[in-house]
Amino acid sequence: MTVVVTGLGAVSCIGRNTPAFMRGLLAGESGIRAMTPEERAGGQAESVARIDRWTPQPELAPMKARRIDLGSQYAVVASLEAARQSGFPVSERPDRLGIALGTGSAGSGALTEFTRVLLSESPEAAPPFHFPNTIANAPASQVSIELKFLGPNVTITQKDPSALNAAIYASGCLEDRRADAMIAGGVDEWNGLYSSAMDMMHALRGSRRPSGIVQGEGCFVLFLEREDSATERGASALARLAGYAFAGSPSPPYAYADDDAAAERAMREALERSGAAPSDVDLVMPSANGRAEIDAMERRVLARVVGAKPSVAVKQAIGEMAAAGGAQLVAAVSAIAEGRAATVLVNSFGAGGNFLSAVLRTP
């Protein structure tokens, strides 16, 4: 069964919607900037990729926006964009529409503020309106409420590849006919406490660590449908999710596995499942996130698997996060829809030894 993409949504540090995100990406813009002293908080990390000028209007009324956390605002705005582009008749089949989002930090702002008041003042003083937003699945839940999606609702946390895994999960829901359409991707919000923790775990690049990630935030989603359903309603497919694969290599929770064999397994299996030969790949979205040894390993494996091909290193523009795989997927679909590529290989490698690859092709 073929799964196609009929809509895209993006909220990023280089653009508030998909066209703006793609313009910035293709122009070589970067949303990575120097941390303020408050953001740095005495740590060695020096850079961050945040959305500095954000308003959820006009998509969310001010009163409604105040009741939901930042990550949920990103997710609702991006999901509305994808749903509108798809043209799917949501009101006709709300129980057949679902959502799958990957995240590593959703709810962190509400959680840290709720906990701060709880511990520094009293349980009675802790703001009750923050509590529903303290959990990782708050954005997916808020999207389902706002868009009135009544089908599967899933949140996946698998560190860096979470968004790509969510798209794969959503594809399975469509193939199993548990849903007729799914919004899938990832969402993250930057949080100072989380950033300090990541820095202490030696994950972030900075003054004492030249190899490491720069944390980002945002939301990136695809509107996925079965091809037969899209064709029946006359929708235009932007691309198809043709194949995907997983591989693992055990490593500590915040360490990346320098494992050529695992990376190669994921890439070759994704290509095989997609029906594409390595020579068919005309664009690569590499995982490249600033971990020097892992980036070098990926380049070696790509050279063996597909040879020298054009690539777009999305994370150099928006930083690394669990949602970054969603940004890579949005960029891959856009390249296909705009005729800049016909077969795109997307890699997302994560701390803990996770290797995910996906292949998108022309519909």
CATH (residue range 242-361): 3.40.47.10
In DSSP notation, 16-63 reads: SSHHHHHHHHHTT----EEPPHHHHTT-SB-EEB---S---TTTS-HH
- The percent of residues above 70 in pLDDT, for the chain, comes to 99
**Non-local CB neighbours of 115 within 8 Å, separated by 6+ positions:** none
What CA–CA distance (Å, rounded) separates 183 from 250?
Answer: 30
Quick: pLDDT tens for 289-323. Answer: 999 999 999 999 999 999 999 999 999 999 999 99
pLDDT in tens, 149-181: 999 999 999 889 999 999 999 999 999 999 999
Indicate the SS3 state at residue 196.
helix
Q: What is the mean pLDDT of residues 354-363?
A: 97
Q: What's the mean per-residue pLDDT of the chain? A: 94
- For tokens 């360490």, the residue is 255
Q: What pLDDT is attached to residue 122?
A: 73
CB 100, CB 152: distance < 8 Å: yes
Please tell me if the domain spanning 3-232 has the same topology as the one spanning 242-361. yes
Q: What is the pLDDT of residues 231-252, one digit of tens each?
A: 999 999 999 999 999 999 988 8
Q: What is the pLDDT of residue 325?
A: 97
For residues 322 and 16, is the Cβ–Cβ distance under 8 A?
A: no
Assigned token pair, 139: 């954005």
For tokens 């069964």, the residue is: 1
**Tens digit of pLDDT for each residue in 189-207?**
999 999 999 999 899 999 9
What residues contact residue 289 under an 8 Å CB cut-off, 6+ apart? Answer: 160, 213, 295, 315, 320, 324, 349
From residue 40, how far is each of 163, 198, 199, 259, 317 by CA, in Å? Answer: 27, 12, 10, 32, 20
Other Cβ atoms within 10 Å of 315 Cβ, number: 26
Selection from 127, 76, 126 nearest residue 106 by Cα: 76
Contact 206, 50 (CB under 8 A): no
Q: pLDDT by residue (tens digit) across 203-222? A: 999 999 999 999 999 999 99
pLDDT digits (tens, 9 = 90+) for 86-105: 999 999 989 999 999 999 98
Q: pLDDT tens-digit profile of 252-280? A: 877 888 999 999 999 999 999 999 999 99
Give residue 145's pLDDT.
95
* Tens-place pLDDT, residues 100-150: 999 998 878 777 777 777 777 777 766 777 777 778 899 999 999 999 999
CA angle 189, 220, 106 (to 5 degrees): 25
The residue extents of the domains of the chain are 3-232, 242-361
> Is residue 224 within 8 Å of 3, Cβ to Cβ?
yes
Q: Read out DSSP for 199-220? A: HHTT-B-BTTBSS-B-BB-EEE
- pLDDT, position 123: 76
Quick one: 3-232 is in which CATH superfamily? Thiolase/Chalcone synthase (3.40.47.10)
φ, ψ for residue 220, nearest 5 deg: -140, 125
